[in-house]
Amino acid sequence: MTLIQPSSIGRQSTTRSVGRQFQSVIIMLFVTTLLAGGIGSRLVYLQMVEGDRNRALAENNRIRLIPKQPARGTIFDRKGRILASSRLSHSVFLWPIAQKEKPWTETRKSLSELLNIPESEIQKQVEKAGYNSTSLLRIARDINPAQITALEEYRSTLQGVEVDIEGVRNYPNKEVAAHILGYTGEMNDEELQERKDEGYRLGDVIGQMGVEAAFEKELRGEWGGQQVEVDGAGHVQRILGQKKARAGKDVQLTLDLDIQKAAEKALGDRKGAIVAMDPNNGAILAMVSRPAFDPNVFSKRITPETWKKVQSRGNPFVNRALRVFPPASTFKIVTATAGIESGKYSPNTVLGTYPYLTVGGIRFGEWNHAGFGPLGFVGALAMSSDTFFYQIGRGIGGPTLIHWTRQYGFGEKTGIELGTEELPGLVADNTWKQKRLKQEWTIGDTVNMSIGQGFLQTTPLQVAVMFAVPANGGYRVKPHVLKDNEESKNWRKSLNMKPETIRVVRQGLRQVVTSGTGKGVNVPELPPIAGKSGTAEAPPGLSHAWFGAYGPADKPTILVVAFAEHSGGGGGKVAAPMVRQVLEAYFKVKKPKK
């Protein structure tokens, strides 16, 4: 039997045998360690780095915070009629913490198309709130029915987006009293930073102007909210806790809606202002400024197109009743007071009037270029003689005239609650002129000031305060828009004027209407009215027109000041008819039917 040995050709020698039985075990241990390390490091990352967010995401699947905005207080006029209230509307909210990177891109794009809001604007709001925020973030207010329907149709694809009902500000009279009421709007970054300590939060709506801003604390109310448990579909299962929102307080103003509407109609489309006030206590009955705006436009997002349209009117947010202009001849009330109170001129003083008066080598002309012959204070007020009051100003000197100008309240804010929008005006003196112009005060400056020109700058509201002094018998009132039951004496102080001064000024203002420059308000339908006109030089444009009046002349209950900016006409022709319309509304004059 022959044994055949296997050939060794092509075979390799396998002399190594130690450790071969552990090779597979080592590889398995290495792979296991690698996997465990990767998983462990991921767990560490999720726990330590992303822990808070993931816990919040898990909690957000079950518990949500729903803030409840308080109802803003209602604003009423003096007779209880609504000037500003809140109406229910639909707003769009989203949950920042529920947004994931990839779906959020699609959600943001869909919201932009449905709501007509740039994606960048939505993204900016979310980043401002922070992706970890568990509170609702408002991204659109007062959406229309078509948008509500579209959002409902796409609800399944819009993760973390909800439509809810909330109150938005409503002004039923639209532009009427817009400047005194103001408007509301969402806080910007700067406002939020300033008021964070007061409990304000991102997306809060606050008063931005007028009464809405002045009484923000009273109107605002206090936020409430709910903590609710939801299911996977986002439906509320039960309320875990809640705090009721506290509505803001209502505010009643001194405004009379009828008088306000009459003043709005009287001013029309002219650029200017009208102020109607109770001369006995400073209660504002009406305040109009043109151009105006509709505060309802701020109840929803302002698009660039809307903003451009609003601004095209020409500075519509400027309250011209609180801006400064030269008061012109209305100021002769102050000059007459200063002249008699100084003791240098008796109430019976008579002075010649001329085509012009030369002072310091400069000719100061009379407005009629001829003069009126000899006049006393009463006649000079009636005819508004410039050369008469030039002589009074020159005679008493700058310091005395400046003193009485400030006594009447010029050069400082009146104290009205809208103080952040009010300008103090300017009563220049030697110190001011040296500082600003490096020049000494001259007698020419005093002469110019005596007829309400020169450096003097006043607001229509300040001019109304000036008219109240002769109207109420010598008291400077503090204008106010908040209605209360305080007695008149708490809103005014005496200027300690001589009875003769008050008598002469009142007689002069009455004669302005009966036989002077204000005959436009001397009509049988009205009670006896007293007033004063003014036409201010306003280079390089057309002149400003002024007229102020009060009535009844013997015991006034209302005064009205009308101002027409760059009207190009005289106060008696342009502004007096506006005052007459307001007085007719106040005294309920019934005009015959055509």
Length of the chain: 594
111-120, 304-313, 444-453, 563-572: the lowest-pLDDT one: 304-313
Q: What is the mean pLDDT of residues 141-156?
A: 83
Cα–Cα distance for residue pair 12/10, rounded to 1 Å: 7
- Alpha carbon distance 582, 565 (integer Å): 18
What per-residue confidence (pLDDT) applies to 52? 60
Domain with CATH 3.40.710.10 in the chain: 257-289+319-586
Q: Which fold has domain 257-289+319-586?
A: Beta-lactamase (3.40.710)
- What average pLDDT does the segment 183-199 reach? 83
| Predicted TM-score (pTM) of this structure | 0.82
Question: What secondary structure letter does DSSP report for 158?
Answer: S
Distance, in Å, from the CA atom of 165 to the CA atom of 182, rounded to the nearest integer, reads: 24
Q: Distance (Å, rounded) from C-alpha 169 to C-alpha 73?
A: 10
In this structure, what DSSP letter does residue 53 have?
A: H
Q: Mapped to the 3 state alphabet, what secondary structure does 517-569 carry? A: CCHHHCCCCCCCCEEEEEEECCCCCCCEEEEEEEECCCCCCEEEEEEECCCCC
> Cα dist. 434→367, 427, 428, 442 in Å?
30, 14, 10, 11
- Predicted pLDDT at 3: 39
The strand ranges marked E within 189-324 are 205-207, 224-230, 236-243, 251-252, 272-277, 284-290
Residue 480 DSSP class? B
Q: Of the given ranges (165-179, 424-438, 534-548, 580-594), which has the lowest mean pLDDT?
A: 580-594
For the stretch 324-369, pLDDT in tens is 999 999 999 999 999 999 999 999 999 999 999 999 899 999 999 9
* Angle, alpha carbons 515-533-367 (nearest 5°): 85
Quick check: helix, strand or coil at residue 126?
Answer: helix
Residue 116 per-residue DSSP state: T
Average pLDDT over residues 435-443: 96
CB-based contacts of 400: which residues, under 8 Å, 6+ apart?
Answer: 338, 342
- CATH superfamily, with its number, for domain 63-252: Penicillin-binding protein 2a (Domain 2) (3.90.1310.10)
> For the chain, how big is the Rg over CA atoms in Å?
37
Looking at the chain, the domain(s) classified CATH 3.90.1310.10 span: 63-252
Q: Which helix (DSSP H) or strand (DSSP E) does residue 356 occupy?
A: strand 356-359
State the DSSP H helix or E strand holding residue 493, giving kind and residue range, or none if neither: strand 492-494
